[in-house]
Amino acid sequence: MLSYKDMPKGVININLLQVFSTVGYAVLMGLLNFYLSNHGGMSRMEANTLTASFFAINFLFHFLGGTVGGRYLSFRALFSVSLCLQFIGLCLIAVHEYSIILIGMAVFITGAGLNVSCINMMLTQLFSQNDKRRRIAFSVNYSFMNIGFVLSFIVAGILQGHNLYSVAFIFAAVCIVISMGIHLRTWKYVTDKGTFFAERFAKGEHNYFIAPVIISACLVFAFFLMHHPEIGSSLIYVVFFVVLALMINLARKQDATYRAKIYSYLILSVASMIFACVQGLQSTALENFVEFNTTKSLLGIPMQPATVNLFESLGVIIFGIFLANAMRRRQSLNRPYSPGYLVTKGLSLYIFAFLMIPLGIWVTGGVNAINVIFPILLLLIVAAGEIHVNAVNYAMAGEMIRPQHQGLFTGYLFMNVAFGINLAGPISNYALSAANETGSLSPAATNPTYTHIFLAMTVVAIIITVIFAFLLKQINHMVSANKVQANLQSELE
């Protein structure tokens, strides 16, 4: 799949980092919703709103990670800070006290929010801008991240079955400590290259308190949003459209070739929204669906909601291996997949994924608990689409965007994800609205609502896929034109 002899030094270290540094996020993804309702004194609808807002804020802070990192602090230093904050946050969340849980959530989400932009940029900067190995490296790196997710969901599912939530959070904190050890060994390979921090900030007499002040402000802001998740949800929508306007304005000021690259990137980034919405639903609506609307048994094996989530990550690992091998073969034949083709293919798979829940409900007559295999199939098919969409989008910043803007546009990609995840809260609460009317969470009460939700998502996926297919030729033309322009420029130099 991947020969590390052909890769820059540090790639394998970053892959190992992905295994352990994402465990905390995965454990919370699997357990937070039920933890808040079972031990935080919240209703299920309140827990849905806070959980969706929590994970969406995580990606809102990814944007800040992309702007602070590489500008006021090196990406490797900011990554160290993020690990420390996640460790503290997990330890606080493990305390069964509502006020302390909220403090821990604020601290953790600030650290997690600064995390992913840093690790993506550390990997990106190991390659030159025209190095096609980057896409393969990101595909494999994405699979390694999901190895950590699989491990997390297995442990979380077992501990959830025994109501040992705090033990799960301490387990995640230990994995963060392991991540710090790996990161220190990776330190020498991941210096900033071509960033504002490396070329100007670190060489001058600048105010190094800027980064700590911004991070502290994020902590205070996150704590406020944990108490007012509805404000956080509205804020994410506003910030997304403001940032999109800024990106378009930035593009307008560039030369024609670079402007085309930016517009291509903005179009491709939209695809991440659909996956993000599904990811948000995993920790809200789908978990509730597995708990109350399925048999919770696969071939006689008990399935907790957190355990079912592992199939999405397992699918990403498997499909990531296949995609990386296919990409490598195509590159060896000098016929690499175009990014537009990969993204459109990934979107088309979501159509089939969303149909799994209505199909399962229809098979059982509409009023009975369905076999848990149907949400599992949804997650596996989503994983196949996800690896096409996200692995390409993560690599695109390094391939299409100039170094001084890469952190900013990586952050923008995560704003798309925040927007998508944020939609999961109201969707999940709509699924429970029928239960509130009937006073029952039984399949008979909520199956019709879930059918409407996933059929609507199927229609949206079809529309977006058709639009992307229509734009595919234009996107590929812009990317190809950029490559020709870069080659001509290289020859002239």
Angle at alpha carbon of residue 121, lines to 115 and 124, rounded to 5°: 145
Angle at alpha carbon of residue 175, lines to 47 and 114, rounded to 5°: 65
What are the pLDDT digits (tens) for 182-212? Answer: 999 988 888 777 666 666 665 666 666 777 8
> Are 115 and 21 contacting, i.e. CB atoms less than 8 angstroms apart?
yes
Query: Which of 44, 31, 61 has its CA nearest to residue 425?
Result: 44
Could you give the percent of the chain with pLDDT greater than 70? 85
pLDDT for the residue numbered 360: 92
pLDDT for the residue numbered 60: 75
More confident residue, 171 or 461: 171
Mean pLDDT of 116-135: 77
Examine the pLDDT at 2 and tell me if it is beyond 60.
Answer: no
Examine the pLDDT at 122 and tell me if it is beyond 80.
Answer: yes
Mean pLDDT of the chain: 81
What are the pLDDT digits (tens) for 225-251? Answer: 898 888 877 888 888 888 889 889 988
Give the Cα separation of 237 and 186 in Å (integer).
36
pLDDT for the residue numbered 385: 87
The arrangement of secondary structure in 9-201+208-492, i.e. its CATH architecture, is Up-down Bundle (1.20)
Mean pLDDT of 76-85: 91
pLDDT for the residue numbered 40: 72
> Are 90 and 170 contacting, i.e. CB atoms less than 8 angstroms apart?
yes
Examine the pLDDT at 63 and tell me if it is beyond 80.
Answer: no
What are the pLDDT digits (tens) for 345-356? Answer: 888 898 899 899
> Are 127 and 4 contacting, i.e. CB atoms less than 8 angstroms apart?
no
pLDDT for the residue numbered 12: 86
pLDDT for the residue numbered 186: 87
Examine the pLDDT at 491 and tell me if it is beyond 60.
Answer: no
Phi and psi at 298, nearest 5°, equal -125, 110
> Considering only 362-366, 377-381, 397-401, which range has the smallest mean pLDDT?
397-401
